[in-house]
Amino acid sequence: MNKAKAVTDQMNPDDVVEFLAAHPDFFVGREQLLQSLTLVQDNGNTVSLVERQASMLREQNAETRSKLDELLAAAESNNDVFDKCRALILSLISSHDSDSFFSALENSFNQEFKSTAYSLIIFGNTPRQINHFTSVVNESSAAEYVGALMRATKPTMGVLRPAEQDFLFRHASDKVRSAAVLAVRIDEPIALLAIGSEDKDYFKSGLGTLFIGFVADALALLLPRHIDH
């Protein structure tokens, strides 16, 4: 029995782990030994410890780059949404009458947000159609279909129930696969703004609602000037 085998017989893997943990600088000055160590991969092939470490670093770098790309994409998307919301609110503020106010809403959602459909439901005592996308309805009647959306304190994002979608988007309902719905409120809801997209992932339930919620806050201040409640 040679010396190496005798030492091996007296040790177990836990002893090796404990020793290396207690001596983290063990391989300093023993680079040749470090390079000679090999590992058995899941596919049965062997690879040097150094190669395995390099591979792990490449994987970690790739994962880090992927997360960074996701963060950059989210930042660009948020910046784009912010620019659109800013342009919309400025156009609403500068509207000189109700016709230009509601036209600014329509143009923004059709051209800037590129929505498949949109509607503004205003709650009032005298039901009427203001334009193709904007109408006044009785609040109790609307509550039968979209009561949960009216009570929501934050924008609702994602897939709507069929009854909600049909009420909000009417003839364009079958084209909408995801939506954002915002309750415009002062103390109580005064309107409901719905934006629909044919892209099922455009309005995800986990999408940030900060900027789009800001639009609802702005409408709460501006809308009463253009409608008699």
Q: Is 174 exposed, middle or buried (0-12, 13-18, 19+ CB in 10 A)?
A: exposed
Query: What residue type is 173 in one-letter code?
Result: S
For residues 34 and 81, the model is more confident at 81
Closest CA relative to residue 38, chosen from 27, 18, 53, 23: 53
Q: Residues 32-45: pLDDT tens digits?
A: 776 777 766 767 67
Closest CA relative to residue 1, chosen from 106, 213, 9: 9
Q: Residues 88-144: pLDDT tens digits?
A: 889 999 988 888 999 888 888 887 777 889 899 999 988 988 888 889 999 999 999
Which pLDDT score, from 0 to 100, does residue 69 have? 76
Indicate the pLDDT class of residue 228, thresholds 50, 70 and 90: low
Which pLDDT score, from 0 to 100, does residue 188 have? 86
Indicate the pLDDT class of residue 229, thresholds 50, 70 and 90: very low
For residues 25 and 157, the model is more confident at 157
Closest CA relative to residue 194, chosen from 229, 144, 160: 160
Which pLDDT score, from 0 to 100, does residue 44 have? 66
Which structure tokens are listed for 3? 């010396």
pLDDT at 206 over 70: no
Q: Are the C-beta atoms of 179 and 158 separated by less than 8 Å?
A: yes
pTM of the model: 0.65
Q: Residues 107-116: pLDDT tens digits?
A: 888 877 778 8
Which pLDDT score, from 0 to 100, does residue 150 have? 93
Q: In what order do the strands lie in the sheet with 128-129?
A: 128-129, 134-137, 117-123, 189-197, 178-185, 156-158
